[in-house]
């Protein structure tokens, strides 16, 4: 699976000392996605726009806003994080993901 006719920002986005990194992909429509990779760890992120997170490989346990329990997401699964919220995740080994930002 490829994204075609896109622009890619050359430099990586680096978080948590490099344990979480991503590359920004820009579409002609103005849409933005990031292709990212997380190594083992516990993380918390904040959203501005609504985000759809799709697992491309590996797995991640996620605690969504308002939920009381973590849920495991594996390859091919996705979840939505509301705008202006925060969510937590635990990665046991690693996870490859695609994050789509709502325009």
**Residues near a second copy, by CB under 8 A:** 1-12, 14, 17-19, 21, 23, 25-26, 35, 37, 39, 56-58, 93-94, 96, 98
DSSP lists the bridge partners of residue 96 as 37, 57
Q: Which is nearer to a second copy, 6 or 83 (CB)?
A: 6
Structure tokens at 65: 């806003």
User: Least distance to a second copy from the beta carbon of 54, Å?
Assistant: 9
Q: Name which of 18 and 66 has its Cβ closer to a second copy.
A: 18
Pairing mode, if any, of strands 20-27 and 71-74?
unpaired
Closest CA to 79 of 90, 91, 65: 65
Nearer to a second copy, 4 or 68 (CB): 4
């Amino acid at each position: 699976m490829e994204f075609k006719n896109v622009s890619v920002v050359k430099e990586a986005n680096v978080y948590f000392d490099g344990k979480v990194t991503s590359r920004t992909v820009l579409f002609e429509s103005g849409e933005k996605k990031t292709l990212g990779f997380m190594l083992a760890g516990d993380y918390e992120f904040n959203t501005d726009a609504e985000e759809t997170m799709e697992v491309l490989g590996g797995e991640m346990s996620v605690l969504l806003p308002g939920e009381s329990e973590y849920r495991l997401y594996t390859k091919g699964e996705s979840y939505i994080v509301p705008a202006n919220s925060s969510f937590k995740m635990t990665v046991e080994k690693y996870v490859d993901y695609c994050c789509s930002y709502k325009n």
